């Protein structure tokens, strides 16, 4: 079994690390406080190819593997999870879904600009009354012959105000339950499509999270992804890959907090010696490092399975569950090691702690991941 990264992987990781420190770190606290979308930073990430890095080169992407994606997500998330979630959604929920299930016409029209970063995408599944239970879609897409008439509301949509195209799950035939759901490509600017207020969130405050409303939006039949009634399967298949991205985001948040805590422990002195010389602090750092390394290996395993064309859904859920819980525990401990300074924004760890919490919630809560894992184990 090979654990070493290739030279290309190492170069990709370094590029992401250098970018995060040079471009994301300056102003990250201000963006968090003022809930500013990192527009300039997203533009630069597009120029580096981060927004379509796994998409085939013939569609404008980087043609890179999922392992590279995990490495990039970790490095970006160490500094700014609000920026990294843009990379996650655009790559693993939007570009992947289009490349895997879209027609050639849909790929040329939407995937190419998405992969190049000329346009952002959004994935619209959650609703006010439908979060983890994705079968309860109240958004409807009535079949009108040559188009669907879309009505409803979607909640917690990343890139909500900045997306040029949204993949919207909607119920066409209620009697068929999950088999009556379709996935539709809905363009910004379509009549009846409006964006609600930005959510005032605990963490990832720079992320562009909105509700979206659809009122008699006419969506052409050629904008349906896959066959009639394929929407629910499309969403579930796409979310499997999305969990790898969020696991990597959680890994990055934990890694960033650990690096800050280690550095602080070496510099800060108490009772005449550095914090790092106290066994109580050493034990905390040892536990943090162990859980982070385990999370990293779980993320890379899920990515490797996906790259090999092997089933990866179980591995992705395990990685997402463990990494997200590691992120929460590690950031709390990082604040504790910093003491009173950990509660102050300029030391960054309180922001990482707030950012960590969302990784336990989106792409399926920790409880949902445990259900998925146990179902696979008990088959």
Local structure of residue 278 (DSSP, 8 states): S
Pull the structure tokens for residue 206: 């720079």
Bridge partner list, 214: 152, 193
The string over 70-105, giving b where at least 16 C-beta atoms fall within 10 Å of a residue's C-beta and e elsewhere, is bbbbbbbbbbbbbbbbbbbbbbbbbbbbbbebbeee
Which of 74, 99, 291, 363 is catalytic? The answer is 363
Contact 162, 37 (CB under 8 A): yes
Instruction: Please tell me the distance from the alpha carbon of residue 19 to that of residue 75, in angstroms, as a whole number.
Output: 9
Instruction: Please tell me the distance from the alpha carbon of residue 326 to that of residue 203, in angstroms, as a whole number.
Output: 17
Instruction: Please tell me the distance from the alpha carbon of residue 323 to that of residue 62, in angstroms, as a whole number.
Output: 26
Q: Please spell the DSSP secondary structure of 3-38, one letter per residue.
A: -PPPHHHHHHHHHHHHHIIIIISTTHHHHHHHT---
Active site residue 363: yes
Instruction: Please tell me the distance from the alpha carbon of residue 182 to that of residue 53, in angstroms, as a whole number.
Output: 27
Q: Please choose, from the candidates 47, 41, 52, the residue with its C-alpha nearest in 3D space to the C-alpha of residue 76.
A: 41
- 3 state DSSP class of 147: strand
Looking from the CA of 350 toward its CB, the CA atoms found within 13 Å total 14
Instruction: Please tell me the distance from the alpha carbon of residue 42 to that of residue 59, in angstroms, as a whole number.
Output: 20
Phi-psi region of 188 (alpha: psi -120 to 50; beta: other; left: phi over 0): beta
Query: E strands along the chain, which residues?
Result: 120-124, 140-143, 147-158, 163-171, 181-187, 193-198, 209-220, 224-225, 269-270, 273-274
- 3 state DSSP class of 347: helix
Active-site annotation, residues: 363
């Amino acid at each position: 079994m090979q654990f070493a990264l290739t030279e290309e992987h190492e170069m990709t990781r370094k590029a992401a690390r250098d970018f995060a420190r040079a471009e994301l770190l300056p102003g990250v606290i201000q963006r968090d406080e003022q809930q500013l979308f990192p527009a300039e930073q997203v533009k630069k990430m597009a120029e580096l190819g981060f927004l379509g890095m796994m998409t085939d080169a013939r569609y404008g992407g980087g043609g890179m593997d999922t392992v590279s994606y995990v490495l990039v997500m970790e490095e970006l998330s160490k500094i700014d999870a609000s920026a990294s979630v843009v990379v996650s959604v655009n790559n693993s929920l939007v570009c992947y879904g289009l490349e895997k299930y879209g027609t050639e016409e849909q790929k040329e029209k939407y995937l190419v600009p998405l992969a190049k970063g000329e346009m952002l995408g959004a994935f619209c599944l959650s609703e006010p009354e439908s979060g983890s239970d994705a079968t309860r879609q109240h958004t409807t897409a009535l079949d009108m012959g040559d188009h669907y008439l879309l009505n409803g509301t979607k909640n917690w949509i990343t890139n909500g105000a900045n997306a040029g195209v949204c993949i919207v799950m909607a119920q066409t035939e209620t009697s068929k339950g999950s088999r009556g759901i379709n996935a539709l490509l809905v363009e910004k600017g379509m009549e009846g499509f409006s964006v609600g207020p930005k959510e005032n969130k605990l963490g990832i405050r720079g992320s562009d999270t909105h509700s979206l409303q659809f009122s008699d939006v006419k969506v052409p039949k050629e904008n349906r992804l896959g066959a009639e009634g394929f929407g629910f399967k499309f969403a579930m298949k796409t979310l499997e890959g999305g969990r790898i991205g969020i696991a990597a985001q959680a890994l990055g948040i934990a890694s960033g907090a650990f690096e800050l805590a280690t550095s602080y422990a070496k510099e800060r002195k108490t009772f005449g010696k550095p914090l790092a010389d106290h066994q109580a602090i050493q034990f905390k750092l040892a536990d943090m490092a162990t859980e982070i390394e385990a999370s990293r290996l779980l993320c890379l395993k899920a990515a490797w399975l996906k790259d090999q064309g092997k089933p990866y859904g179980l591995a992705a859920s395990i990685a997402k569950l463990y990494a997200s819980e590691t992120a929460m525990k590690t950031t709390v401990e990082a604040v504790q090691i910093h003491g009173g300074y950990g509660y102050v924004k300029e030391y960054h760890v309180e922001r990482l702690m707030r950012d960590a919490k969302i990784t336990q919630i989106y792409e399926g809560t920790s409880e949902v991941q445990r259900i998925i894992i146990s179902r696979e184990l008990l088959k």
